[in-house]
């Protein structure tokens, strides 16, 4: 019996240590999460532009893009753009020279990444867009859902895709995000205000919970 | 280095379980030291056996899924290995009294509780030494499962666990979840050893309570049949809550909490010994579907401890019973 207790304690310490090391990496703030960008000078432009994201783009690169079109980067006090250095492409929308939103079309970003970056949402709203599409190579059929994601600090809008093969679709951390925009364009505030926000139910809850 | 590690490991064992203890030497036999050639041949045969098992696992897994994951490939070889280990555990101890009687040492051993107790315990613990090849293979397979589990945990910049415990009932802190997963991992490593220990202890009980050779064989066959029946039933029950390719079934969500708990525990203890459970995505689904199921890691560890205690009590009881004059 003493041997059993001893071995349980030893294995417990080893297992706990391994789990602690894995979970501990969350303390290290990754560089590819969130960058803040703001525009001060009104360029008088109502424009948008695309940025290719190769996984190494940073906000200095984005500043160059903005400089090219006459907008200036200042740092704070203006509408912020949460910018991800992910692979894929980005789009920045300017209204009267102010960057009011940015959208990202990531190649491999998940809902788990979104929560890891922006925190747990206070509200989440999903709506099936009536769009089914199949992956080019695997032939896998997906359903496209529009998503609105609200935290105390930020509002996001985007699209996620769900596997049609699932018997009971769940909102999993590995759910792919096809598009993510932050913050929502100002003009959409009225539209957003009319929405009934569902309280966040956690991952793996059935999808119908969020409808 | 290996020598030092094994020496340290042996130091942790009770003195009677040490291979150098006279009774253990007697139980294990005094065979001549084998040369390195025999060792290499045996090691190669062991590797070949594992390769064949993995090949068979791949064949089975690829019937459902053209591109099976490593966990799917290893699942059935591990389940088969675990059941085989338990069956051999019973078989290796069910004849311990018959062997001593054949050597005409049983009557003298019976005279003292210490003599009989040490002999039965040594026979019981020797099962681990005899089955090292199988237990080592099972442990390697299970360590692969643990490696994949840790990889799952490292997803989302190490925040995977935060995400999976988000919104579950009851709410639990990250530290609490880590502690419960620690319990699950500990139980996961120990389980095959504890189950083999219980099987071997049951074999010892049968040996003490059966008198003639024919009854020993009958008892052994009965026990093996019972063991297989329990394992197969638990796996069938498991198929009502776990999908073959990972994740949980639709039914789990509709079950009441007690029923879901019973099925999850039965299959995790007596079926596949937690192989399906040790998957973060599957655990996340269970936590979302079944109330209080975040505590399942702790519950499995408690069950493993209870099984280990039962095995210990059975061996002690066998020794006490064997010294009773009425037993033979």
For residue A180, give the H/E element and its range.
strand A176-182
Q: Using a pLDDT cut of 70, give the percent of chain B over it.
A: 91
Minimum distance, in Å, between the CA of residue A195 and any CA atom of chain B? 22
Minimum distance, in Å, between the CA of residue B286 and any CA atom of chain A? 9
What pLDDT score does B116 carry? 75
B166 has a chain A CB within 8 A of its CB: yes
Give dist(CA A150, CA A152) in Å, integer.
7
Number of domains within chain A:
2
Residue A6 in domain = no
Q: Which of A36-45, A61-70, A91-100, B231-240 has the highest mean pLDDT?
A: B231-240
Residue A2 in domain = no
Q: Residue written as tokens 């066959």?
A: B221
pLDDT tens profile B69-80 = 899 999 999 999
Residue A38 in domain = yes
Query: Does residue B277 register a pLDDT over 90?
Result: yes
Q: Where are the alpha helices (DSSP H) in chain B?
A: 2-12, 22-28, 36-64, 70-93, 96-102, 106-109, 113-130, 132-153, 155-158, 160-165, 174-209, 213-239, 250-254, 257-266, 280-289, 296-322
Looking at the fold, whether A81 and A125 belong to one and the same domain comes out as no
* B197 contacts B308 by C-beta, under 8 angstroms: yes
Counting one residue from chain A and one from chain B, the pairs whose CB atoms sit within 8 A come to: 123
Give dist(CA B83, CA B160) in Å, integer.
33
pLDDT band at A29; cut points 50, 70, 90: very low
Interface of B with A in 181-200 (CB under 8 A): 181-183, 185-186, 189-190
pLDDT band at A58; cut points 50, 70, 90: low
Residue A17 in domain = no
CA-based nearest residue to A195, from A182, A204, A205, A184: A184
Pick A173's closest partner by Cβ from B164, B179, B189.
B164
Looking at the fold, whether A127 and A43 belong to one and the same domain comes out as no
User: Could you tell me the residue ranges of all domains in chain B?
Assistant: 74-327
**Helix, strand or coil for residue B242?**
strand
Q: What is the reported pTM?
A: 0.74
Looking at the fold, whether A119 and A201 belong to one and the same domain comes out as yes
Query: Does residue B147 register a pLDDT over 50?
Result: yes
A33 contacts in chain B (CB < 8 Å): 157
Residue A182 in domain = yes
- Encode A104-144 in three state secondary structure: EEECCEEHHHHHHHHCCCCEEEEEEEEEEEECCCCCCEEEE
CA-based nearest residue to B197, from B11, B18, B8, B17: B17
Pick B189's closest partner by Cβ from A11, A27, A116.
A11
A108 has a chain B CB within 8 A of its CB: no
pLDDT band at B328; cut points 50, 70, 90: very low
| Dihedral sign, Cα of residue A13, residue A16, residue A17, residue A18 | positive
Residue A127 in domain = yes
Minimum distance, in Å, between the CA of residue A116 and any CA atom of chain B? 6
Looking at the fold, whether A101 and A112 belong to one and the same domain comes out as no
Neighbours of B47 (CB within 10 A): 11
pLDDT tens profile A145-203 = 888 887 776 677 788 888 766 666 778 888 888 887 765 544 445 555 555 556 677 78
Mutate to test the interface with A, among B156, B179, B191 (most CBs of A within 10 A): B156
**Helix, strand or coil for residue A93?**
strand
What pLDDT score does B300 carry? 95
Which backbone phi and psi does A25 adopt, to 5 degrees? -65, -15
**Lowest-confidence region among A29-38, B68-77, B181-190:** A29-38
Give dist(CA B207, CA B201) in Å, integer.
10
Looking at the fold, whether A163 and A177 belong to one and the same domain comes out as yes
CA-based nearest residue to B23, from B31, B32, B15: B15
Pick A23's closest partner by Cβ from B158, B250, B288.
B158
B161 contacts in chain A (CB < 8 Å): 23
Minimum distance, in Å, between the CA of residue A140 and any CA atom of chain B? 14
pLDDT band at B261; cut points 50, 70, 90: very high
Query: Does residue B196 register a pLDDT over 90?
Result: yes
Q: What six digits make up the tokens of B302?
A: 């408690």
> DSSP state, B241?
T
pLDDT tens profile B99-122 = 777 777 777 766 666 777 788 888
Looking at the fold, whether A76 and A141 belong to one and the same domain comes out as no
* B122 contacts B25 by C-beta, under 8 angstroms: no
Pick B167's closest partner by Cβ from A25, A26, A202.
A202
Pick the last residue of a domain from A62, A88, A106. Answer: A106
Pick A26's closest partner by Cβ from B158, B182, B186.
B158
B164 has a chain A CB within 8 A of its CB: yes
Looking at the fold, whether A102 and A112 belong to one and the same domain comes out as no
Pick the last residue of a domain from A51, A83, A106. Answer: A106
B168 contacts in chain A (CB < 8 Å): 202
Query: Does residue A121 register a pLDDT over 80?
Result: yes
A172 contacts in chain B (CB < 8 Å): 281, 284
Query: Does residue B315 register a pLDDT over 80?
Result: yes
Q: What six digits make up the tokens of B2?
A: 């290996």
Looking at the fold, whether A42 and A83 belong to one and the same domain comes out as yes
Q: Strands, DSSP E only, in A26-168?
A: 35-37, 47-54, 81-83, 87-95, 98-106, 109-110, 123-134, 141-150, 155-163
Interface of B with A in 270-289 (CB under 8 A): 281, 284-285, 287-289
Interface of B with A in 28-57 (CB under 8 A): none
Q: What six digits make up the tokens of B225?
A: 């049949």
What pLDDT score does A109 carry? 76
Pick the last residue of a domain from A106, A129, A148. Answer: A106
Identify the residue with better confidence: A29 or B162: B162
What pLDDT score does A42 carry? 37
Looking at the fold, whether A182 and A159 belong to one and the same domain comes out as yes
B17 contacts in chain A (CB < 8 Å): 3
Residue A21 in domain = no
Looking at the fold, whether A136 and A187 belong to one and the same domain comes out as yes
Q: State which residues form the domain around A188.
A: 108-211
CB contact under 8 A, B178 and A30: no
């Amino acid at each position: 019996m003493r041997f059993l207790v001893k071995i349980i304690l030893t294995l417990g310490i080893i297992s706990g240590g391994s789990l602690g090391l894995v979970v501990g990496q969350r303390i290290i703030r990754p560089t590819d999460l969130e960058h803040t960008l703001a525009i001060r000078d009104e360029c008088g432009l109502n424009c948008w532009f695309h940025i290719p994201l190769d996984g190494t783009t940073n906000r200095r690169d984005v500043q160059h893009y903005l400089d090219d079109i006459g907008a200036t980067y200042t740092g704070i006090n203006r509408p912020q753009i949460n910018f991800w250095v992910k692979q894929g492409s980005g789009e920045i929308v300017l209204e009267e020279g102010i960057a009011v939103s940015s959208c990202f079309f990531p190649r491999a970003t998940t809902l788990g990444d979104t929560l890891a970056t922006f925190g747990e949402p206070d509200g989440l709203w999903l709506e099936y867009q009536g769009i089914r599409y199949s992956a080019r190579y695997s032939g896998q059929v997906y359903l496209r859902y529009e998503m609105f994601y609200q935290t105390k600090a930020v509002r996001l809008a985007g699209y996620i895709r769900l596997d049609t093969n699932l018997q009971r679709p769940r909102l999993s951390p590995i759910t792919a995000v096809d598009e993510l925009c932050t913050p929502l364009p100002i003009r959409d505030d009225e539209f957003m205000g009319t929405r009934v926000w569902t309280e966040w139910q956690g991952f793996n809850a059935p999808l119908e919970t969020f409808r | 280095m290996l020598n030092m590690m094994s020496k340290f490991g042996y130091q942790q064992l009770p003195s009677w379980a040490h291979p150098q203890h006279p009774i253990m030497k007697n139980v294990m036999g005094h065979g001549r030291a084998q040369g390195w050639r025999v060792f290499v041949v045996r090691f190669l045969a062991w590797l070949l056996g594992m390769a064949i098992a993995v090949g068979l696992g791949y064949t089975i897994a690829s019937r459902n899924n053209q591109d099976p994951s490593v966990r799917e490939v290893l699942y059935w070889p591990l389940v088969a290995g675990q059941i085989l280990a338990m069956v051999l555990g019973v078989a290796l101890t069910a004849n311990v009294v018959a062997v001593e009687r054949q050597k005409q040492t049983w009557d003298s051993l019976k005279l003292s509780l210490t003599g009989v107790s040490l002999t039965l315990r040594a026979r019981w613990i020797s099962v681990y030494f005899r089955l090292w090849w199988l237990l080592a293979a099972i442990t390697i397979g299970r360590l692969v499962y643990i490696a994949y589990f840790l990889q799952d945990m490292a997803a989302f910049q190490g925040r995977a666990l935060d995400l999976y415990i988000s919104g579950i009932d009851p709410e639990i802190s990250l530290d609490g979840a880590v502690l419960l997963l620690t319990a699950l991992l500990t139980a996961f490593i120990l389980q095959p050893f504890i189950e083999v220990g219980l099987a071997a202890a049951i074999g010892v009980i049968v040996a003490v309570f059966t008198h003639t050779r024919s009854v020993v064989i009958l008892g052994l066959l009965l026990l093996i049949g019972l063991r297989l029946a329990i394992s197969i039933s638990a796996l069938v029950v498991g198929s009502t809550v776990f999908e073959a390719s990972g994740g949980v079934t639709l039914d789990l969500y509709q079950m009441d909490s007690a029923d879901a708990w019973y099925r999850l525990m039965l299959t995790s203890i007596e079926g596949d010994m937690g192989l399906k459970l040790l998957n973060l995505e599957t655990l996340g689904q269970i936590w979302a579907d079944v109330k209080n199921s975040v505590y399942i890691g702790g519950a499995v560890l408690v069950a493993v401890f209870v099984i280990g205690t039962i095995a210990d009590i059975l061996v002690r009881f066998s020794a006490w019973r064997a010294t009773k004059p009425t037993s033979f």
